[in-house]
Structure 1
Amino acid sequence: MQDNQFEKIKNGQGFIAALDQSGGSTPKALANYGVLEDAYSNEDEMFDMVHEMRTRIITSPAFDSDYILGAILFEQTMDREIEGKYTADYLAEKKGIVPFLKVDKGLAEPTNGVQLMKPNPGLDELLKRANERHIFGTKMRSVIKEANPEGIKAVVDQQFEVAKQIIAAGLVPIIEPEVDINSSDKEKSEEILNGELLSHLNNLADTDNVMLKLSIPTVANTYQELIQHPRVVRVVALSGGYPRVEANKKLKENAGLIASFSRALSDDLNVKQTDQEFNAALKEAVESIYEASVKK
């Protein structure tokens, strides 16, 4: 399975769905779906509702491996079941979609124009569980808000340090140093980030493989060297808050870059929709994101 999954992620036509909102962002994700905070009275009920939402997305006929290569899950989603199977097994066996897991514990306070990842002392245990649950790869997010070389270097250093721990566990890490789309010096941040990423990639062993998840660059094709780097399985783009139409338009300008959208994928979905309405809305989103990912 692992070899087939590697080949699908590296060379397949399609995109990666991000279904990994965690504790802090779950109320917002539910609110976008039409489930307001008065609909649940505690965290357990909240996570039950978000699992219902994700189950509805994943089991939809529109959530199809003809368009979707992989899906990024939140830890709780990994540990829950869909139709009697653990979520990753359902994705892989029923859908032919490669499962990933968000493994970071959120963002630290801003320093030097960036937000590093919080410490993650339980990562080895989580990676062990991820292997037991047949997860293929992981994702971890940092944020860059200013073109501060020291801050950006710290973000990339931390990402690769943790990536090596993930590689050692037999998983493929998605490194996500997101550049804030509202940053006043976004283009400069991307130049610095590109150099730092190339430097680290060039120092990886020939057996080490990573993926990159990056903001769609201000200057199209800024990341071509990263996309073509032999240690990079795939470079995917986050929507970063752009509406889907705008995110797709920007993505189309970048050869070899595919989507890994979250909000832009699920924005038009609502708990009150009939299954027919829900599936039609999801199908429209999936097909438009696929088209933006594979053209070029």
Structure 2
Amino acid sequence: MTEFEMEDIAAALVAPSKGILAADESTGTIKKRFDSINVESTEESRRDYREMLFTAEGVSDYISGVILYDETLRQKAKDGRPLAEVLSSQGIIPGIKVDMGAKPLAGAEGELVTEGLDGLRERLAEYYELGARFAKWRAVISISDSAPSQYCIEANAHALARYAALCQEANIVPIVEPEVLMDGDHTIDDCYAVTETALKAVFDELYKQRVVLEQMLLKPNMVISGTTCPEQADAEEVAHKTVYCFEQTVPAAVPGIVFLSGGQSEAQATEHLNIMNELGSHPWELSYSFGRALQASALTTWAGKEENVAAAQQAFIHRCKLTSAARDGEYGTHMETAS
């Protein structure tokens, strides 16, 4: 693959009207999701659930790429085709989560650093052979009276840049995900300050480690009030402050910003994305890389029952359609209730 092909893949992932489905929940995380609908989490039930999403009619109209978990990338659909092939045959680009999760950061109580760099070069080569053409690495930054420390921000920025450089060496487009968590009672201005600091550190490290910005995507949080903050910022303020923050920190060479939903409801994440795109043209595409905010309705509708598959796929496509409209700045809350 040439460098231009990596640029083409990055551009295709943020094509108009399309975004990324994050279906890369770890085995532990998807177990929690399945527990909420009283479904046992087995290799087969996880495969059935994800295959249901990947084969929903019309999914490729709204989804440009899917981030897979290691297990899923190796699984086969009921018809015997690898799930990666099920996606690529529809023009959807398979991706892979490559980090090994956030672990306690030595010398910084309560703070986390993402691990998974050991052996990553070899894993990326294998993932490429299995069909993955982009990857994701998530760093987690929390806000409290004592956090985040500059040490935590820099440790995570360094790891994100090392990961991104290894991806590009392997002809895989890196999605760089520094997530400032919503958990806590912090204000939207606290979130703004931490997000700005984190993004400046991340791009400083990406530059030092020779990552080509045209061949990567950024997956950040929105600038938003903490979940238990008494004064919740409205959707207009979230959108304006988020865009302003990125104008201060994200180079125009980055082809796209694919937001994480980060615990927001489906409707909330969609409304915020829509207002940002209504604000006019930006140096980068503003799209989505949602997990729960694309899957929640489909998951509860499915409830692990074969007879609910068609209705669950319908719920999933409805959500994709609304999120796609928001990605183009054409969403209205009245669309939530339309069939």
Shorter-chain-normalised TM-score: which range? 0.7 to 0.9
Q: Which 10-residue stretch deviates more, 7-16 or 154-163?
A: 7-16
- Residue in structure 1 matched with residue 9 of structure 2 by the alignment: 5
Cα displacement string for residues 180-203 of structure 1 (whole angstroms, at most 9, x for unaligned residues): 012423222112012213323444
Q: Which 10-residue stretch deviates more, 180-189 or 71-80?
A: 180-189
- Residue in structure 1 matched with residue 60 of structure 2 by the alignment: 65
Amino acid at match of 1:249: E
Question: Aligned to 2:175, what secondary structure does the other structure show?
Answer: strand
Please report the TM-score for the alignment, with normalisation by the length of structure 2: 0.77
Asked if 2 retains the 8 angstrom alpha-carbon contact of 1:65 and 1:97, the reply is yes
Asked if 2 retains the 8 angstrom alpha-carbon contact of 1:112 and 1:148, the reply is no
Residues 148/103 of structure 1: CA separation in 2 closer, same or farther (3 Å cut): same
Query: Is 1:215 matched up with 2:215?
Result: no
Alignment of 1:180-259 (within 5 A): 180-183=181-184, 184=186, 185-203=190-208, 205=210, 207=212, 209-218=215-224, 219-221=241-243, 222-224=245-247, 229-230=252-253, 232-255=254-277, 256-259=285-288
- Between the aligned partners of 1:120 and 1:154, the Cα distance in structure 2 is 13
Q: 2:98 aligns with which of 96, 99, 103?
A: 103
Query: How big is the shift at 1:142?
Result: 1.3
- Residue in structure 1 matched with residue 154 of structure 2 by the alignment: 153
Amino acid at match of 1:155: N
Query: How big is the shift at 1:85?
Result: 2.0
Q: Which runs of 5+ in 2 are unaligned?
A: 225-240, 278-284, 331-339
- Between the aligned partners of 2:326 and 2:16, the Cα distance in structure 1 is 14
Query: Is 1:294 matched up with 2:328?
Result: yes
Q: Percent identity?
A: 25
Asked if 2 retains the 8 angstrom alpha-carbon contact of 1:105 and 1:118, the reply is yes
Amino acid at match of 2:246: Y
Query: How big is the shift at 1:276?
Result: 3.1
Q: Which 10-residue stretch deviates more, 1-10 or 240-249?
A: 1-10
Amino acid at match of 1:268: S
- Between the aligned partners of 2:251 and 2:165, the Cα distance in structure 1 is 20
Query: How big is the shift at 1:113?
Result: 5.9
Amino acid at match of 1:27: K
Question: Aligned to 1:254, what secondary structure does the other structure show?
Answer: helix
- Between the aligned partners of 1:11 and 1:67, the Cα distance in structure 2 is 10
- Between the aligned partners of 2:53 and 2:315, the Cα distance in structure 1 is 11
- Residue in structure 2 matched with residue 262 of structure 1 by the alignment: 291
Cα displacement string for residues 61-115 of structure 1 (whole angstroms, at most 9, x for unaligned residues): 14x221111110000100111232222222112x111111001111112536642
Alignment of 1:174-185 (within 5 A): 174-183=175-184, 184=186, 185=190
Cα displacement string for residues 133-164 of structure 1 (whole angstroms, at most 9, x for unaligned residues): 12111101110003432211221111101211
Amino acid at match of 2:308: T
- Between the aligned partners of 1:210 and 1:226, the Cα distance in structure 2 is 15
Q: Which runs of 5+ in 1 are unaligned?
A: 41-45
- Between the aligned partners of 2:114 and 2:133, the Cα distance in structure 1 is 21
- Residue in structure 2 matched with residue 88 of structure 1 by the alignment: 84
- Residue in structure 1 matched with residue 72 of structure 2 by the alignment: 77
Query: Is 1:281 matched up with 2:287?
Result: no
Amino acid at match of 1:70: G
- Between the aligned partners of 2:295 and 2:246, the Cα distance in structure 1 is 26
- Residue in structure 1 matched with residue 124 of structure 2 by the alignment: 127
Question: Aligned to 1:72, what secondary structure does the other structure show?
Answer: strand
Query: How big is the shift at 1:207?
Result: 4.7
- Between the aligned partners of 1:224 and 1:86, the Cα distance in structure 2 is 40
Question: Aligned to 2:256, what secondary structure does the other structure show?
Answer: strand
Equivalenced residue count is 285
- Between the aligned partners of 2:273 and 2:191, the Cα distance in structure 1 is 16
Residues 107/266 of structure 1: CA separation in 2 closer, same or farther (3 Å cut): same
Query: How big is the shift at 1:275?
Result: 3.1
